[in-house]
Every structure is written in C-alpha cells, then in structure tokens.
Structure 1
Amino acid sequence: MIHLQLLRKSSQTRSRKQLSQLFSTISQISSQPSKPPSFGIAFDIDGVVLRGNTPIGGASRALRRLYDGSGVLKVPFVFLTNGGGIRESKRAAELSELLGVKISPSQVLQGHSPFKQLVNRFENELIVAVGKGEPAVVMSEYGFKNVISIDEYALYFDNIDPLAPYKKWGTIDFAVERTRKCSINSKRVQAAFIVSDSVDWSRDIQVLCDTLRTGGLPASEEGPQPPLYFAHDDLKYQGAFPSERLGMGAFRIALESVFNSIHAEALKYTYFGKLNPVAFKNAEVVLKQQASFIYRELNIVNHANSGSHDFQTLYMIGDNPAVDIKGARQARNPWFPILTRTGVFKGDHHSNYPEFPANMVVDTVEEAVDFILRNEHQITD
C-alpha cells in the first residue's frame, strides 16, 4: 500500500514537471516575435568600430549584444564601408578576429562590392584594377575573367613610369613573359576600376592618363575614353593617425585635374560608395535577407511572406558627416543616421554637424547601440 502511494506521488511529480515545462515552452514561443525584426543596423568601420586594427568605442561589447547567448544573430546588421582592397570573405574573417564575434562575408559591404553588377558587361574584356591590397583578386572573385592589376600592367610598357628608377620601396615582382607582353601591350583596355586607394599616385595617374586618353592602349593615337569606375569618392577618412587621411576622392581630384589639363575632353567617370543611393539600397536588401533568416530560424514562419516585410527603421552609424550622414539622409526613410565622435567628426557634446545634421550624435558606437536597443525595446542585461 505504501509502495503504491509512493508510485502515485512520483507520477504526480513527474506530471507537474512536464506540465511546467510545457507551459514554459508555450510561454517562450508566445514571447517570440510574430514577424521579422522591424529594424536593422549598418555600421561604418574606420572611425566607428576600428581605428587601424584596434577596436574603439566599446565596439566588441556593442556587437555582442546583437547576438543571443549561444552566439546566434538576433539583430540584422551589416558593415557598410567605403574601404576595401580585399575580398569580403577575408575582411569578414579579420573583423571576426578583431571584434570577437562571428561575421559572415554577406555582412561586409565594401565600396567596390557594387562592381559585381558590371560583370555581365565586362566579364571577358581586358580591364585594369587599381589600388592597395589585392584589387585584381577581388575583381576575379566577382567574375571578371580578364583582369590585371595596374602594378602588373605598368610592367608591360617599358619606361611608362619615368620615376620608377627612383622609387626605393619594394614592388610586386611579376614574371613578364614575352608572349603575354605582346598580347597585353597590343590589346585595348575596355575599362579601369579604382578598387581601393592608390598606393603610387604618380605612376597610377600617368598610366591611367596614358590608357584613358588613347582609347585603352598607351602610346597609341588618342581615342574614345574607356569607362572609369571609382569604388567611392571619400575625400578623407579616419585612420590610425590622429588627423584625417586623404582618400580615394582626393586621388580622383588629382587624376581629373591632370587629365583635363592634357586632354581636350573632360574626364568621365562613375563612382559608387555610400553617397550613392545604390550602396544604401544594397544594404537594405542584405538586411532584409538577414531578417527573414532570423525569422525562419525561430520556427514561427510563413515562408511565403517572410521576405516581403519592410523595415520601420534602418540605423546608419558613422563618423563622417559628409559621407555616412549625408548618404543616409539622401537615402531617406527608413534610414536614421547616428553620428559618433570617434572619427572624422570631433564636435563637443552639444554640437551636431550643421550642413548634414544627424538624427542623433553620440560619443561611441556602444552608446549608439544602447540607444537603438532601448528605442526598439530590445534591451537585454
């Protein structure tokens, strides 16, 4: 009899535990959002989360708040930067290591990322890629099949850079085969892409002027200018040095000034980057994809509608008023620009940038993320 009572008591205890677990599960499910996240975040990199290779402004702590306890992304975000010169996959790995969170390549939108849209036009054509890092590798990964870096291209034309003997820094040493040399220096370049900041302004301006004013073949007669594309047009940016550094926009001004001085027709070019609405549109598309993925992962899904929602707010966190803030303002709703004081902008605690004012000015990126999570009722301690 006693044994039977103990069995009944044990069974009742188990039932109560199971019922409690069921109510807990139901409670968790009901507390989960019934639709995709209504907001997303775009971070600039230089001057916002990094200075050189050093995290700033509590960036690591801020980004960790966008993941759950197991490291799964819960708030859609991207890095929207005009920087570049390396593949998005490599940049994502670097950011993951520096910031201590897992960043996927799809979350890295660089100045040259929109060049992918031009593959169909120039896929098999000879194109020249300019800039630091691995510009030709970047373009090859995008699908361009006949791309050459300006470092290598200059080697196929004897004496094209008259200052080369006086340059004492190390350069990439390419083995120039006679057959390939004959092929390259007799074939017209169909387009030039400024992928990242030029390392050798004097040589690059010389070679680009030679190429662009002759219809794509240095030392030949003048001809129609091949298309010229810049990844962005930033005049300055915040690097590791205390004051701002000259960016691709400064190189563009120098190239344009020289070209227009020696050629009858003005230089024609197209630039992308954050001032171009395309950059913000691409960011919105990627953020929507992330939001839909987060929604599906919660198993509360209507797959037919999960990718069709619109964001109520997209936050752009940047340090450069003339680029990050102006670009977000021009992109309009739903973009909400937030300006930090850790980079190009260094105003006091009561100032905004008068020409392109942000919706909010903060000291650090951590303060910006804290505001966003509170504003979106996403605070988790």
Structure 2
Amino acid sequence: MRFHATTISRVSQLKNRAPVLFQSSQLRSNHQKRCNFGIAFDIDGVILRGRVPTGGSPQALRRLYGDSGGGVPETKRAKELSELLGVNILPSQVVQGHSPFRNLLKKFENELIIATGKGNPALVMSEYGFKKVLSLEEYASYFESIDPVSQYKRWTTAPVSDRKTPAVPRYDVFSERIKAAFVVSDPVDWGRDIQVLCDILRSGGLPGDANRNQPPLYFAADDLEYQAAFPSERLGLGAFRIALESIFNIINPKGLEYVSYGKPNPFVFKNAEAILSQLQSSSCIDHSENNGVSGSHPFETLYMIGDNPSVDVKGARQSGHPWFSILTRTGVFRGKDNHAEFPANLVVDTVEEAVDYILRREYNS
C-alpha cells in the first residue's frame, strides 16, 4: 500500500501501494491558503491502474498543486509519478510502504540483514542507511542447492548485464547470522523466497543450522489484493505473508512472528500525519506569520482516498479523528452502495469527484 500526501497536505500511497501527501497551502492561488486539512491518496486503483492514470487523477492533482507542470527509492518514485501525472511531486510527499523501515536504522544499521521484493530492495535499504544489506536473491546464490528447483527456472529476475553478484560474498554469510529480514515489495519468486526465508527464520539467521530463535521479520504492506492494470485484482504482499506464515507454522514448532507496517495498521496513518505536519510547518510559515500564529496547526480533517475498504477505509476508521475516509469505485471496490463491513464516510466514482467534494467542503466553492 502506498501513499501520496499533500498539505492541503497531500498524502498518497503507491502500489507501490505508497501514498502521496498533499497539504492545503499547496493549492492554487485562487483559493485562500489554509493549513488545516490534508489529503492522502492511495496510488494503485485510485490514481493509477498499472502505469496508466485513472479516474481523472491528473486533473484532480492539478487542481491541488500550484502548477500543472512502490521497491524503488522515494526520489525515483516521485520522479516517476511526476512524469505520469504531469505534476511536480517531491520525494518528501511520497510515503511508500517501506518508508517506515527508516525507523529501524538505529537497531540494525551495522547488522547483516536481507531484503527481498521486486525492484531493488537492497538499494532501498542501503539508501535508508543500513550498512550491511544483501538482497535475498544474492544471499541465496551463495548457498548451493538452497533453491532445489532453480535449475528448472528459465527466467531471471533481472537482466544478466544488471546483475552484480560477486563471486565471493561481501560478508561471511556462512558464519554470520542474519539479524533481520525485510520484505520491501512484492516478491518475484515466491517459491524461492518462502523456502529461503523459512531456512533463515527457523535457524536463527543461518540456513542449515539447528532450530533457534527467529530473527525479526518486517513487511512493508499487508494488503491481500490490489488493483493493477489487469481487470481483476492481483494478489498482494498480504497474500505472500499468508503463504509464508501458513507453511512456516506447519514446519516450525513456534508460529511466525512478524511486523507489518502496511495499511490498515494505524502506524501508517500516524506516520502520514507526522509527515504532513512537517510539510505544513514549512509550507505554511508565511500563512502563520501573517496571522500572528507561530508553529504548525492541528489538522481539522485528513482525507484518505482509497479503493480498498478492508485496507484504506478500515485503517482510517481505526485511526479516528481527524481522518475522513473516501472510497472510490476505480479499483478493488465496485459496489453500488457503501461497503457493509467497513463503510466509508463518502463513496464516489473517481478520485476527481473526491477532490471536487473536498474543495467544495473546505472552500464552499
């Protein structure tokens, strides 16, 4: 699950299921500047389907920005979104599912960790400051026969020219234990990744060793399904977690222990609110000074625009005030009426309708 945020503060999440954040002070000049509300957009199924904008998302975002001009780093994702949507999105406005992993740097900065998922998960973790990180693909390559069906795989996860796996491991992987495992984005090779993760987690971080205490395991998201370019929903990171957990709990005497930072975890919404507050502090300084008020202001409303009731709406409802959930029919949700189990505050057809509602509600225009 990914966010994009704006102040309006804007927040949206990409599938990278990451959000983009928007804040009210970033609105076009024909609106009086306000700093008391923000918007968080889910990306997949709300702003994009695959790599194609949907639901009038470019027009909606242009109404929010002062100009009309998910396993990758925020800088790259912001550039990618800017090109796809025709608006200037800053890295600070992109909150990806794996963004909270930064908060674990103090604990694992100098420890050997592995990262898995599509894209370049090891690069993502390295850019967060982790000093000793290996991709699961590279790590597995050092253990002969750890993936017993690898010889039958006629596909690769990356072009051979892009692979830089050294012949000799950079770290002593045969004696140094993995201290933590991070699932940064959707794994490409589920079979291999489940096998190797089970080996690492059962052995206390050293495949082939006797059963020991499980090292920490972190997931960037936990959504079962998400809306991509294909007409029906695709299995997400939550599905991979269920598969791993089901197998691990059968072959290991103790159940799988893990932490998922994805929606609907309230941490995601608190983190988005904190980032929006930072955007608010910088972008609303002139507004505050002109009104004789110093510092940032509490948000009266934070809008969560999503397409998945069990993820976006549930998370907003659990987080409580000041979150206001808006459910679109452009992705996972297609119902005529509101969702029965996780009803949103508002149901609309498209993100453009959602933004129109917000602007009318906030500015009476």
TM range (shorter): 0.7 to 0.9
Residue among 239, 244, 248 paired with 2:233: 244
Using the TM superposition, give the Cα deviation of residue 175 of structure 1 relative to its aligned residue in structure 2, in angstroms.
3.7
Residue among 86, 102, 127 paired with 1:141: 127
- Helix, strand or coil at the partner of 2:64: coil
**1:96 is aligned to 2:94:** no
Give the counterpart letter for 2:325 in structure 1: P
The answer to whether the Cα contact below 8 Å between 1:295 and 1:301 also exists between their aligned partners in 2 is: no
**1:306 is aligned to 2:292:** no
Q: Tell me the residue number matched to 1:256.
A: 245
Q: Tell me the residue number matched to 1:317.
A: 305
- Aligned counterparts of 1:301 and 1:292: Cα–Cα separation in 2: 14
- Aligned counterparts of 1:281 and 1:165: Cα–Cα separation in 2: 45
- Aligned counterparts of 1:174 and 1:104: Cα–Cα separation in 2: 30
Measured against aligned partners, the alpha-carbon deviations of 1:228-264 in whole angstroms (never above 9, x if no partner) come to 0111111100011000000111111111111111111
The answer to whether the Cα contact below 8 Å between 1:296 and 1:303 also exists between their aligned partners in 2 is: no
Give the counterpart letter for 1:55 in structure 2: P
More strand by share: 2
Measured against aligned partners, the alpha-carbon deviations of 1:183-242 in whole angstroms (never above 9, x if no partner) come to 122210000001001100110001001111001000111111100011111110001100
- Aligned counterparts of 1:352 and 1:65: Cα–Cα separation in 2: 26
- Helix, strand or coil at the partner of 1:184: coil
Using the TM superposition, give the Cα deviation of residue 298 of structure 1 relative to its aligned residue in structure 2, in angstroms.
4.8
More helix by share: 1
Q: Tell me the residue number matched to 2:98.
A: 112
Give the counterpart letter for 2:342 in structure 1: F
The answer to whether the Cα contact below 8 Å between 2:142 and 2:169 also exists between their aligned partners in 1 is: no
**1:328 is aligned to 2:316:** yes
- Aligned counterparts of 1:60 and 1:92: Cα–Cα separation in 2: 14
**1:62 is aligned to 2:51:** no
Q: Tell me the residue number matched to 1:370.
A: 356
**1:156 is aligned to 2:142:** yes
Q: Tell me the residue number matched to 2:167.
A: 177
- Aligned counterparts of 2:288 and 2:323: Cα–Cα separation in 1: 29
Identity %: 62
Using the TM superposition, give the Cα deviation of residue 180 of structure 1 relative to its aligned residue in structure 2, in angstroms.
3.7
Of the two, which has the highest radius of gyration? 1
Show structure 2 runs of 5+ residues with no match.
1-28
The answer to whether the Cα contact below 8 Å between 2:44 and 2:331 also exists between their aligned partners in 1 is: yes
- Aligned counterparts of 1:107 and 1:317: Cα–Cα separation in 2: 15
Measured against aligned partners, the alpha-carbon deviations of 1:135-167 in whole angstroms (never above 9, x if no partner) come to 000001111100000010000100100010010
Q: Tell me the residue number matched to 1:125.
A: 111
The answer to whether the Cα contact below 8 Å between 1:156 and 1:176 also exists between their aligned partners in 2 is: no
Residue among 246, 251, 258 paired with 1:269: 258
Measured against aligned partners, the alpha-carbon deviations of 1:54-77 in whole angstroms (never above 9, x if no partner) come to 001110110011123x569xxxxx
Show structure 1 runs of 5+ residues with no match.
1-28, 73-83
Using the TM superposition, give the Cα deviation of residue 313 of structure 1 relative to its aligned residue in structure 2, in angstroms.
0.6
List structure 1 segments (4+ residues) > 6 angstroms apart after TM superposition. Answer: none
Q: Tell me the residue number matched to 1:342.
A: 330
Structure 2 length-normalised TM: 0.87
Structure 1 length-normalised TM: 0.83
- Helix, strand or coil at the partner of 1:229: strand
Q: Tell me the residue number matched to 2:43.
A: 45
Distance change in 2, residues 1:239/1:89 (3 Å):
same
Measured against aligned partners, the alpha-carbon deviations of 1:335-359 in whole angstroms (never above 9, x if no partner) come to 00000000000012xx000100000
Residue among 205, 222, 226 paired with 2:211: 222
- Aligned counterparts of 2:284 and 2:166: Cα–Cα separation in 1: 53
The answer to whether the Cα contact below 8 Å between 2:138 and 2:165 also exists between their aligned partners in 1 is: no
**1:188 is aligned to 2:177:** yes
- Aligned counterparts of 2:225 and 2:43: Cα–Cα separation in 1: 14
The answer to whether the Cα contact below 8 Å between 1:155 and 1:176 also exists between their aligned partners in 2 is: no
| 1:72-83 pair list within 5 angstroms | none
